[in-house]
Structure 1
Amino acid sequence: MGKILITGMSGVGKSTALQLLHLRGHRTVDTDTDDWSRWVTLPDGSTDWIWREQAITDLLTGHDAGNLFVAGCKTNQGQCYPLFDQVVLLSAPADVLLARIKARTDNPYGKRTEERDAVLHHLATVEPLLRATATIEIDATAPVERVVQQLEELAEH
């Protein structure tokens, strides 16, 4: 029974991996919903989409059968890292991320110029922080079936 966080930049394939893991019979949670995340206003007036920490804590402490794969990338996710067995960073080069974002039809984020610029900014500033705290990094340019196989192998150890 493994509890695995799948994190990484927009367009890296977190949702696609979750969909395939779900089809393979695993419990999956995408934290990009109001059930798991909420908007907060920061002191400088900007907003941030963060985890509902109690909801995530309850999810992780209440999970007791099979594997659980949770996907997300939030500024406060590190507070829940001790509750995960693995923190997996999916990574891919900027050109791959931008091509995937442009091609996807199930998520409008990244279609506007300022959103693409934000993705590149996050790749340069946020991904190194994720890499420093992840327990493992997986190359998300591999076929999604291979990425999912690697995730399943991590959950079994």
Structure 2
Amino acid sequence: MTKILITGMSGTGKSTAVEWLRHRGHRAIDTDTDVWSRWVTLPDGTRDWVWREQALTDLLAGHETGQGTGHLFVAGCKSNQGRFYAQFDHVALLSAPAEVLLARIAARTNNPYGKQAGEQAEILGYLREVEPLLRESATVEIDATAPVEVVARRLEALTDPPACSGRRCR
């Protein structure tokens, strides 16, 4: 069965899409929890929220050996996710303009990240520096300004290769 990584900047709707996909009966995992991710201290003293690599390896391997049923959607944006790209059938980048991201982050109640001015500046920096790298490695880019139902249907369409051709699903 198909394994799809849903990635993108904060505020693109990854968690919301995962919830919608779950309600549609798919196995969909938001990796922005302590079960799937952990804080590490980098050599320069800064901290980074990265995937627990063994947990992701086990999840993906288990899905390949039939322990998981149906299609698997994994959402996250971590500095070590590139190590897993080869294990996914698609890397779907959700993207939206900065003003949309900041408005969504300001309105959300399920995640405190991005409420402070310093965090907002960090998000805008990631949008400039990290999103282009994600775009280069993505197999498809989805316009996340669309309603979540539309975004989730576009993600579902990736499980049927002829339904979504090329790098962009609109």
- Flag the structure with more relative contact order, 1 or 2, with Cα contacts below 8 A and sequence separation at least 6: 1
1:110 paired to 2:114: yes
Unaligned regions of 5+ residues in structure 1, if any?
A: none
What is the CA–CA distance in structure 2 between the aligned matches of 1:142 and 1:54, rounded to whole Å? 34
Aligned to 1:101: 105
Aligned to 1:44: 44
Percent identity over paired residues: 68
What is the CA–CA distance in structure 2 between the aligned matches of 1:97 and 1:33, rounded to whole Å? 21
1:86 paired to 2:82: no
Secondary structure class of the residue paired with 1:137: strand
Report how far residue 156 of structure 1 moved.
Answer: 2.8
Aligned length: 157
What is the CA–CA distance in structure 2 between the aligned matches of 1:46 and 1:97, rounded to whole Å? 24
Equivalent position amino acid for 2:123 in 1: V
Aligned to 1:54: 54
TM (norm. structure 2) is: 0.90
Secondary structure class of the residue paired with 2:10: coil
Equivalent position amino acid for 2:9 in 1: M
- Could you tell me whether the CA contact under 8 Å between 1:57 and 1:83 is conserved in 2? no
What is the CA–CA distance in structure 2 between the aligned matches of 1:69 and 1:37, rounded to whole Å? 16
Cα deviation code 1:56-82 (max 9, x no counterpart): 011011113201100000000000011
Cα deviation code 1:10-30 (max 9, x no counterpart): 000000000000000000111
Unaligned regions of 5+ residues in structure 2, if any?
A: 162-170
1:120 paired to 2:124: yes
- Could you tell me whether the CA contact under 8 Å between 1:5 and 1:70 is conserved in 2? yes
1:77 to 81, 84, 87: 81
Report how far residue 53 of structure 1 moved.
Answer: 1.0
Aligned to 1:154: 158
Equivalent position amino acid for 2:156 in 1: E
- Could you tell me whether the CA contact under 8 Å between 1:38 and 1:52 is conserved in 2? yes
Equivalent position amino acid for 1:153 in 2: A
Equivalent position amino acid for 1:101 in 2: I
- Could you tell me whether the CA contact under 8 Å between 1:50 and 1:75 is conserved in 2? yes
What is the CA–CA distance in structure 2 between the aligned matches of 1:87 and 1:24, rounded to whole Å? 20
Report how far residue 152 of structure 1 moved.
Answer: 0.4
Secondary structure class of the residue paired with 1:108: coil
Aligned to 1:23: 23
Secondary structure class of the residue paired with 2:40: strand
What is the CA–CA distance in structure 2 between the aligned matches of 1:79 and 1:12, rounded to whole Å? 22
TM (norm. structure 1) is: 0.98
